[in-house]
Every structure is written in C-alpha cells, then in structure tokens.
Amino acid sequence: MLLRALLRPVLAGLTALLLLGHGAPVMADFALPPLPYGPEALEPAIGAETMTLHHDRHHAAYVANLNAQIPSNPSLKTLSLDALQAQVGRFPAAVRNNAGGHWNHSQFWAVMAPAGDGGAPSAELLTAIQQSFGSLEAMQEQFNQAAAARFGSGWAWLIRRLDGSLAITSTANQDNPLMDLPDVEPGTPLLGLDVWEHAYYLNYQNRRADYIHAWWSLVNWNEVNRRFQGSPSPAPTAASAL
Ligand code: MN
C-alpha cells in the first residue's frame, strides 16, 4: 500500500516524460554518424590512430559544440544539417564553425573507401570533368594545387556550380560551398578533402603534398557519382522552355 503510494507520482512523471518525448514537434539533436568502415580500413594512406582521433574526438567535438548552441539558438532544432549550411550566415560564429565541421566530416567519411573499393567516375561525371577541366588528370592537378595552397586550415573541393559546370575551390576553417557566406564560391560539393593538420600529421608530419597524393587512392567514386547525380541541374534556358 505504502509502496504503491510512493510509486504513483514516479509513474505519472515517467508517463508525462514519454508523452512529451513523442509529442514534441522538434528534431533530435545533431548526431555523430558512425564511420562506414573500421578505423584501420584506410591504411596505409591514413592510419587507424588518425582515423580514431579524427572521428571520435574531432568530429564528435563539432557535434557536441553544435548541440551546445541549441539553447541560445532554438531555431537550430527546426533545421536539418543540410538546410542549416545554406543559412549559417545569420547565426553566431560558433554555429558556423561547428555546423560546418559536422557537415564537412560527415561528407569526408562518405567520400572515402578502402583502396580499390571506390569504383571509378561514371561516364556522366567523366564527361562533365572533361568539359570543365579537359581531363581527369587536369582536374586532379588543379584540386591538388588548391589543397596545397590553402594557408592554415581548411578544405579543397570539387563542386558543381548552378550552371552545371564543375570547379575546384577551397574554403578556410570549416566553411563549405553550401554556406551563404560572401567569401565562399557557391556550389554543390561533390568531393571534399580535409587539409587541417589533424587529418594527416601523425602519418605525414608537415608533408601535406604526400598526404594529398596518397588520398586519391581512397576516393569513393561511387559516392562522388551519387552526389553528382543528385546535384541540382541547370535551370532550362528561355529558348529550351519554349
Ligand atoms: Mn578534420
């Protein structure tokens, strides 16, 4: 009898919590995606220790720090990670940095695969690369230069512009081509390389160019092809719409 009286408010409280959880029209907090392969899967180009630290510490910190911004920026609860990139300019720098860090690293794990498992550029992607750069090798050379020349920390990108052409760009810190920022060339990221020192220092120390060269063996072209197929197509011209 006494026990039942003691338990009643506890059970009522639990029920209220469950109803609140199911009824609230908000998204879950941002979550760290698991690596799509083991931490040793990209060796020898990227070692297991780098992968573990990079995912479990660096990427996890971006996610935790982004979630820590939710109480002071409650509209974050209504935005997907993709949608947030396109309006990050109206949020404080801590949101920009950590939302970018979360998006960029989620992309990075997906566009890599164990050497030999990543397939090849699709015929459609290869045609677009040849139209914009002349050849696959010329695109890679331009990408390597952008990655090597990024001063300090940042990313190199292969993007698809809104006019359908492809381009190589680079962004500082954790910015990316989806962001609504004046110093970012806009486009759909197809392939992005992390050139922060934490991405390569254990294996390559200061030899960033060696890291960039080795990284091409890890590119998951199957995923790059998927991103190319899903990227916005150019709007029809007035002539073709008639
Ligand atoms: Mn990183």
26 part of a folded domain: no
- Residue 36 CA to ligand 1 center (angstroms) comes to 16
pTM over 0.95: no
Distance 199 CA to ligand 1 centre (A): 5
**Quick check: is 179 in a domain?**
yes
Domain presence at residue 45:
no
Provide the H-helix boundaries in the chain.
Answer: 2-23, 48-52, 60-67, 81-85, 93-110, 123-133, 136-149, 201-204, 208-215, 221-230, 238-241
What is the structure's pLDDT at 12? 46
Distance 119 CA to ligand 1 centre (A): 24
Answer yes or no: are the C-beta atoms of 190 and 124 closer than 8 Å.
Answer: no
Q: Which domain holds residue 189?
A: 123-232
Distance of CA 54 from the midpoint of ligand 1 (Å): 6
The CA distance from 216 to 153, in Å, is: 19
Provide the CATH number for the domain around residue 162. Answer: 3.55.40.20
Give residue 232's pLDDT. Answer: 83
Whether residue 143 lies inside any domain: the answer is yes
Position 154 in a domain: yes
Q: How far is the CA of 104 from the centre of ligand 1 (A)?
A: 8
CA of 17 from ligand 1 middle (Å) equals 37
**Ligand 1: centre distance to CA 7 (Å):** 49
Reported as a single tens digit per residue, the pLDDT across 112-170 is 999 999 999 999 999 999 999 999 999 999 999 999 999 999 999 999 999 999 999 99
Instruction: Write down the residue that tokens 């910190």 correspond to.
Output: 61
Number of domains in the chain: 1
Name the residues around ion ligand 1, CB cutoff 5 A: 194, 196, 199
